[in-house]
Structure 1
Amino acid sequence: MADNYIERQFEQYQAKKAAWQKPLKHTSKKTNSKRVFITGGANGIGKAIVKAFRQKNYPVAFCDKDETSGLQTAKETGAAFYLVDIQNKEALENCMLKIIKRWGDIDILINNAGVSLFSDLTETSVEDFDQILSINLRPVFITSRLLAIHRKAQDSPQHYGRIINICSTRHLMSEPGSEGYAASKGGIYSLTHALALSLAKQHITVNSISPGWIQTQEYELLRPEDHTQHPSGRVGKPEDIARMCLFLCQEENDFINGENITIDGGMTKKMIYIE
């Protein structure tokens, strides 16, 4: 057990060292000066976001509770991985403080981490409901608040900042048994525009992205009807969300603020009747 622990610690060290010292292979030589922190970056949409920013040579750090996938993503991309359970306020804050100490600041914060848990209303306990909020919603406030505290304490004001919160189309539409998830995403939707106003003086824009159906694995196993029901003619991919994150972080796009951007292939605009 001890040997295995030491091996894991060494792997984490190597992954972090790579992020600080080595550019991602096959990218341009120009290093982007904007520093990026992503929650839940080991898998799915989060991993696509990590890859997208590293391909543009941004310095990237991410956290996740999935150690195996986190280390693999760090190895593939050169991003720095931190093993964190975002339900733990102290662990999440300590992670951000370590990154700020190393970099001096965080320019781009992407709150992506979350869980999709659904259960019948009568079988969902209050504790179940609280747990979903503690994973999906509460960390968005924790990270945004800490970044605001850091920025406010600086002698020289920064004139660039981005916060992007990954919401969901379920903030405005639901299925039975989705109370906790819908509430958490609705909270992110509202928290986003509140943060946009609170952080305006610090030149930090805050926007959210609401993905629709984004298939994160085994895309090739989808049925033709899965694709054709979308006005865009296909199910979404994680890269669709990652590209919007890059777009929002361009310096000239600072006039997009307090918004929620839906990326769902047109599904929420489609009227559906049973024939």
Structure 2
Amino acid sequence: MKLKDKVALVIGGTSGIGEATAKAYAEEGAKVIVGGRKKDEGDRIVREIREAGGTAIFAKVDTTKADEVEAAVQTAQDEYGTLDILYNGAGIHDSYQTALDISEEDYDQLMAVNVKGPYLATKAALPVFLEKGKGTIVNVGSQATHVAGPGGSAYVTSKHALEGFTKQLAYDFGSKGIKANLLAPGFVETPMTEGIEEERLKDIPAERAGKPEEVARLAVFLASDDSNYMHGTSVTMDGGWVVGR
């Protein structure tokens, strides 16, 4: 019960790694707000968490809309009295398009979700964290946080930017009791990776894709007191893919 009595807002919690993280947080004792755009999926996940003995509610969140993010943070306070953990897991891919190929509209949309979204959510949560003198932020990056290739121009740029944002949060607010770190998963079996050729697996020393549940265990560690001396760190979980780049 590493997160007993904690309140966690999991944005991007209605599929893939986010869903696994919401369930893992609940298993570790957290009260979870499952944030996402898909109400049907959110309701299913909440039901499954409750059936397993956990505590959860759904909040409709489009991470690009400040009012919806702010409402989700307020929901956490209204329902559970506070907010302790913010998990920024919403993200979209660019199908490996180069700077020449991607349209301005698609570029702006990807940046809105992958970079501006975590900023909006963090800005909404920070006043709660600062008032209580403690809070945890887990941003979700990618292999593309560190190297080119796992995405196209916009995606790689966005994930590099998110690492910089995480470092700056640690620099600005670490002394105020706020812990911010980045989780960088590799090739994981999620809806985002569906259709990507199995050829990718030959470059992974582990010789397999990761499981969302495996990444979720790392998300628990980063949200728990076990990682309290980690600030502004990027933690990679990719089966060893980056070491050969």
Q: Give the TM interval when normalised to the shorter protein.
A: 0.7 to 0.9
User: What amino acid is aligned across from residue 243 of structure 2 in structure 1?
Assistant: K
Shift of 1:120: 4.6
Question: How far apart, in 1, do the equivalents of 2:78 and 2:125 lie?
Answer: 12
Question: After the TM superposition, which residues 124-143 of structure 1 pair with which residues of structure 2 at under 5 Å, given as runs?
Answer: 124-143=102-121
Q: Give the TM-score normalised by the residue count of structure 1.
A: 0.78
> Which residue of the other structure, out of 234, 238, 245, is the alignment partner of 2:212?
238
Shift of 1:171: 2.1
Corresponding residue number in structure 2 for 1:189: 163
Contact 2:129–2:135 (CA under 8 A) maintained in structure 1 = no
Identity of aligned residues (%): 27
**Structure 1 residues 89 and 222 mapped into 2: Cα distance closer, same or farther (>3 Å)?**
closer
Contact 1:120–1:176 (CA under 8 A) maintained in structure 2 = no
Shift of 1:222: 10
Question: How far apart, in 2, do the equivalents of 1:127 and 1:31 lie?
Answer: 40
Contact 2:84–2:129 (CA under 8 A) maintained in structure 1 = no
> Which residue of the other structure, out of 87, 98, 104, is the alignment partner of 2:81?
104
Shift of 1:164: 0.5
User: What amino acid is aligned across from residue 256 of structure 1 in structure 2?
Assistant: M
Contact 1:121–1:177 (CA under 8 A) maintained in structure 2 = no
Q: Give the TM-score normalised by the residue count of structure 2.
A: 0.87
User: What amino acid is aligned across from residue 261 of structure 1 in structure 2?
Assistant: V
Shift of 1:252: 3.6
Corresponding residue number in structure 2 for 1:71: 43
Question: How far apart, in 2, do the equivalents of 1:263 and 1:31 lie?
Answer: 21
Contact 1:226–1:234 (CA under 8 A) maintained in structure 2 = no
> Which residue of the other structure, out of 134, 145, 149, is the alignment partner of 2:127?
149
Structure 1 vs Structure 2 CA RMSD: 2.5
User: What amino acid is aligned across from residue 146 of structure 2 in structure 1?
Assistant: L
> Which residue of the other structure, out of 50, 57, 66, is the alignment partner of 2:29?
57
Question: How far apart, in 1, do the equivalents of 2:223 and 2:150 lie?
Answer: 36
Unaligned runs of 5+ in 2: 51-55
Corresponding residue number in structure 2 for 1:167: 141
Aligned length: 237
Where 1:137 maps in the other structure, the secondary structure is helix
Contact 2:83–2:128 (CA under 8 A) maintained in structure 1 = no
**Structure 1 residues 201 and 102 mapped into 2: Cα distance closer, same or farther (>3 Å)?**
farther
Contact 2:34–2:58 (CA under 8 A) maintained in structure 1 = yes
Unaligned runs of 5+ in 1: 1-27
Where 1:210 maps in the other structure, the secondary structure is strand
Shift of 1:267: 0.8
User: What amino acid is aligned across from residue 120 of structure 2 in structure 1?
Assistant: I
Structure of higher RCO (CA pairs closer than 8 Å, 6+ residues apart): 2
Where 1:81 maps in the other structure, the secondary structure is strand
Are 1:84 and 2:61 an aligned pair?
yes
